């Protein structure tokens, strides 16, 4: 189950990054907006990059750390989406679609992080009790 969830978050974070790239291109081409488009490009693509990097984590704590960074980037991306919407660069439909995808990623990341922290804590307790 956990392995399937990890694969799902990898796939969804990559698809989300592609949407973010296209959004950034749209903002630059349609509105000549380069500052906000660059900010959301960095945070929105960093989610998937950190998820992908977690695949090669050196340890469970390293794995958790990489996913926690992805979670922070997801939160930052939500902020930039809100700014873009509230400054009329995104329509309500665009905003709701993007924010829904981001919230889904956030929920998946939280779930994986919690499960792995529980595993880490269980492993610690086992080693203490031995």
Q: Look at phi and psi of residue 33 and say left if phi exceeds 0, alpha if psi is from -120 to 50, else beta.
A: beta
CA-to-CA distance for 60 and 116, rounded, in angstroms? 8
CA-to-CA distance for 102 and 93, rounded, in angstroms? 14
pLDDT over threshold 70, residue 101: yes
Residue predicted with more confidence, 91 or 125: 91
pLDDT over threshold 50, residue 1: no
**Residue 59: phi, psi to the nearest 5?**
-160, 170
Q: What is the pTM of this model?
A: 0.91
Mind listing the pLDDT tens digit for each residue in 33-81? 999 999 999 999 999 999 999 999 999 999 999 999 999 999 999 999 9
- The owner of tokens 């924010």 is 99
- Residue 129: pLDDT band (50, 70, 90) is low
Instruction: Give the largest CA-CA distance in the chain.
Output: 63
Q: So what's the pLDDT on residue 35?
A: 97
DSSP 51-83: HHHHTT-SSHHHHHHHHHHHHHHHHHHHHHHHH
Stretch 84-95: mean pLDDT: 98
CA-to-CA distance for 72 and 91, rounded, in angstroms? 25
């Amino acid at each position: 189950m956990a392995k399937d969830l990890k694969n799902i978050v990898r796939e969804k974070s990559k698809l989300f990054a592609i949407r973010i790239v296209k959004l950034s291109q749209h903002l630059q081409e349609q509105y000549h907006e380069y500052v906000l488009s660059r900010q959301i490009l960095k945070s929105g693509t960093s989610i998937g990059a950190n998820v992908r990097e977690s695949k090669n984590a050196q340890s469970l704590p390293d794995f958790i750390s990489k996913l926690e960074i992805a979670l922070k980037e997801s939160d930052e991306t939500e902020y930039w989406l809100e700014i873009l919407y509230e400054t009329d660069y995104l329509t309500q439909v665009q905003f709701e679609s993007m924010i829904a995808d981001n919230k889904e990623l956030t929920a998946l990341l939280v779930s994986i992080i919690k499960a792995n922290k529980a595993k880490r804590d269980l492993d610690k307790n086992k080693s203490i009790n031995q």
